[in-house]
Amino acid sequence: MIKHGRLKRAALLAAPLLAFATAAHPAMAADPAPASASEASVHVPIEYHKLENGLKVVISPDHSVPTTTIGVYYGIGFRLEPKNRTGFAHLFEHMMFQGSENLGKAEFIGLVNKNGGVLNGSTRFDFTNYFEVVPSNTTETFLWAEADRMKGLDITQDNLTNQQGVVKNEVKVNVLNQPYGGFPWLDLPQLANTNWYNAHNFYGDLKEIDAATLEDVQTFFDQYYAPNNAVLVVAGDVDPDQVMGWVKQYFGAIPAASDIPRPDISEPRQTEQKRIEKLDPLAPQPALAWAYHVPPKGTPEAAAFRLIDLLLIQGGDSRLNRVLVNQKGYSDSVDGGINWPLGDAYDYNGPMLWSGMLVHSDDVSDDQILADIDAVVKDLQTNLVGPDEMARAKTKALSRLYDTIGNGNRVGLVNMLATFALFDDDPGRINRLEQEIEAVTPELIRKTAKEYLRPTNRSIIDLKPGKAAAQDGQ
């Protein structure tokens, strides 16, 4: 009946906040092979330490392959960046590659490349992270290198001006001049949230990026890039005692920050549906996006919502994919998730959204699509999930967990260990996630769906494509 116009996924889901990547960890294209708690069980070896300067250190030995993954996570993301300096957290991520006391501009990247490793860095809601996957015999070298830039950067006007230009160009390429630019990952938080910290333009206003000064950069570095606002994770073919010796040697003397800003990021309970139109002159087809606030982290309801996410939108067998794609043919895919597309259900530390979107042809209305979504949601709120579907959802959750932890580059493992340590002071939670998943009941899913999938907790964006935008502008 309709033409299924698949968007370039890069346009919609471009990793907009990734600054450097000689190799990025691959996105999971499909669910991994089924697994269950009886077939596999998580027991990640963990040593957890804290230095006197506040640095949290997580070591997870794994001698399966002779590589080490080193991750440094700082407790500053775009949610907490200063007012009138939107995009600053992302700008600073770029600055971390501009040189330090003993490594000049681009020398950190060169050092990784020379040793056959890979690296990446990203800015997320509640953290900025940097990691390298390197041969295990170079572990000491890269601990030294990470400590060198934690101690201090080469903050110069030339470096700042250069990176302001790079970031502004990213904004222009990925948002301003891109079909579906910022849709919906930038747009939905600004609509659904009321607190500025959760609702501003995370990529940054071009004028505010330009307004950043050397004093701003130095203050930001001193406040947030300190050991008592950071986690160091070392996972791989290492001896924990040896690693701790190096960590104390290279990181131990770095001074702690005396004052780390912690603004109020709370959100009030949403009590009415929000809905807007967005005109996109570059978009070839209309699109619909929606979002609901999710339960607070660490609650039984949060674990239940993780399964709701899997039941409704993850994979071709999910309820929304079956109805909207397979039965109705509105689109060739429905995308979405918790903390989507910039993270997952675990790596954030504040109010968060569960969101979804699809691109569709202009011969179906958004109201029609929403009616079908509402019917799917209503069924989840009214009827208990059957035992077979419940088992499949838990299997899918466990499979994804095992895939994340067991990936050969250990990046997913490091991400979990780092964020659990950074936000909860509890990297060992990774070994309890199976129990959290298994504890969810059909009754809890129904209860959670009633409260968090209510219409008054929803925000909707109707995106109108180029032709409609042009007509409206006449």
At 466 the pLDDT is 86
Contact of 78 with 90, CB cutoff 8 Å: yes
- Map residue 446 onto helix, strand or coil: helix
| CATH number of domain containing 42 | 3.30.830.10
Residue 353 predicted with pLDDT over 60: yes
Pair of tokens at residue 308 = 């709701």
Reading phi first (left if > 0) and then psi (alpha if -120 to 50, else beta), residue 305 is in alpha
Regarding whether 326 and 220 lie in a shared domain, the answer is no
Residues 6+ apart with CB under 8 A from 471: none
Regarding whether 227 and 295 lie in a shared domain, the answer is no
At 37 the pLDDT is 42
Residue 32 predicted with pLDDT over 90: no
Regarding whether 176 and 308 lie in a shared domain, the answer is no
For residue 326, the Cα-to-chain-centroid distance in whole angstroms is: 29
pLDDT band at 3 (very low <50, low <70, confident <90, very high): very low
Q: Which tens digit of pLDDT belongs to each residue from 238-249?
A: 999 999 999 999
Overall average pLDDT of the 418-435 stretch: 97
Which of 15-19, 321-325, 439-443 is least confident?
15-19
Phi, psi of 407 (to 5 degrees): -60, 140
List strands edge to edge, sheet with 458-464: 274-279, 458-464, 287-293, 353-359, 335-338
Supply the range of the domain harboring residue 46.
16-251
Distance CA 165, CA 156 (A): 14
Regarding whether 247 and 371 lie in a shared domain, the answer is no
Cα–Cα nearest to 84, from 210, 257, 198: 210
Regarding whether 221 and 323 lie in a shared domain, the answer is no
Q: Which tens digit of pLDDT belongs to each residue from 451-468?
A: 999 999 999 999 999 865
Residue 29 predicted with pLDDT over 50: no
Regarding whether 294 and 232 lie in a shared domain, the answer is no
Regarding whether 342 and 234 lie in a shared domain, the answer is no
Burial (CB count within 10 angstroms: exposed 0-12, middle 13-18, buried 19+), residue 64: exposed
Fill in the DSSP letter of residue 327. I
Residue 179 predicted with pLDDT over 90: yes
Tell me whether residue 263 is in a domain. no
Regarding whether 292 and 358 lie in a shared domain, the answer is yes
Regarding whether 148 and 183 lie in a shared domain, the answer is yes
Structurally, how many domains does the chain consist of? 2
pLDDT band at 42 (very low <50, low <70, confident <90, very high): confident
Mean of per-residue pLDDT scores for the chain: 91
Regarding whether 238 and 120 lie in a shared domain, the answer is yes
Q: Which residue, 220, 251, 282, sits at the end of a domain? A: 251
pLDDT higher for 136 or 23? 136
Distance CA 325, CA 341 (A): 20
pLDDT band at 17 (very low <50, low <70, confident <90, very high): very low
Contact of 138 with 115, CB cutoff 8 Å: yes
Phi, psi of 356 (to 5 degrees): -150, 160
Regarding whether 218 and 294 lie in a shared domain, the answer is no
DSSP bridge pairs for 236:
61, 68
Tell me whether residue 10 is in a domain. no
Q: What CA–CA distances, in Å, run from 350 to 122, 198, 380, 424?
A: 18, 9, 26, 12
Tell me whether residue 52 is in a domain. yes
Query: HEC string of 198-247?
Result: HHCCCCCCHHHHHHCCHHHHHHHHHHHCCHHHEEEEEEECCCHHHHHHHH
Regarding whether 456 and 392 lie in a shared domain, the answer is yes
At 30 the pLDDT is 40
At 40 the pLDDT is 57
